[in-house]
Amino acid sequence: MSEIADFAEHIAREAGELIRREREQNTLRTDYKQQTELVTHADIMADEFITKAIRKAYPEHRILSEESMPDLSQAEEADTPLWVVDPIDGTVNYAYGHPQVAVSIAWAEKGRVRVGIVHAPFSGETFRAEKGYGATLNGRPIKHSGATDLRQSLFATGFPYTKDDLAPLLRRLEVMIHHCRDLRRIGSAALDICWVACGRLDAYYETVSPWDFAAAKLIAREAGAKAGHFSAVPEGYPEDLWGKDNLIAAPEIYEKIRGLLAGA
């Protein structure tokens, strides 16, 4: 499996260099998906680079990619291995010149994520995990914060681009703000989760797409954090790739947060 992890890390780094260079050297070209979600020309370029490399190296594998192949039915369990790709997680950050941007690449087999790479090109940080072998940041082992006191815990979340149904999200936010130390709004789900993995955050929750969290959730689990959902996962759907109501946290505070969010 290390061969696949090495390959995934290599193309994530190459894609990261592409998007870093594109932002520094060119005027960004932007557009919108579904009239609400920002996308840049660099998203498309990085997506094409990654998917082309995967097709060349592993032509028999399937690809679920945010920009070029966003068919969520691919996330359902199948015999063929699946790559889950987000060429730029944190596109709004990217367009505004913020550094919290990541390339996320996961590799799954029979619905279980086995390899996860999250590369942050502007901070020069690469998070990596292989199932059963722990998680690293730039080659050094990482571990969750070990938080035990919810009142002293720092959490992160995000909000959807469409604002039609914010009421339940605001109820959850209110209950979390009242029970935790504070909130951080970073703008990249992959980095939110990786920051839980390395102890910069104590918890994260949000509903997002598989390409946003698949790699990072494995990294968090391999760093000893607990990862799951605060609502039911449909029977038969791969839990590793189900995007609704994700929750990742230090183990001692996980159930407390899960209860708060489910109740809200």
Give the residue numbers of the binding site for Mg(2+). 66, 86, 88-89, 212
Residues recorded for the chain: 264
| 129 SS3 class | strand
Q: In Å, how far are 59, 75, 221, 224, 246 from 228, measured between CA atoms? A: 31, 17, 10, 13, 6
Element (H, E) at 102: strand 102-109
DSSP letter (8 states) at residue 23 = H
Q: Give Cβ neighbours of residue 88 (< 8 Å, ≥ 6 apart).
A: 19, 40, 42, 43, 46, 94, 101, 102, 103
Element (H, E) at 89: strand 82-89
Instruction: List the binding residues.
Output: 66, 86, 88-89, 212
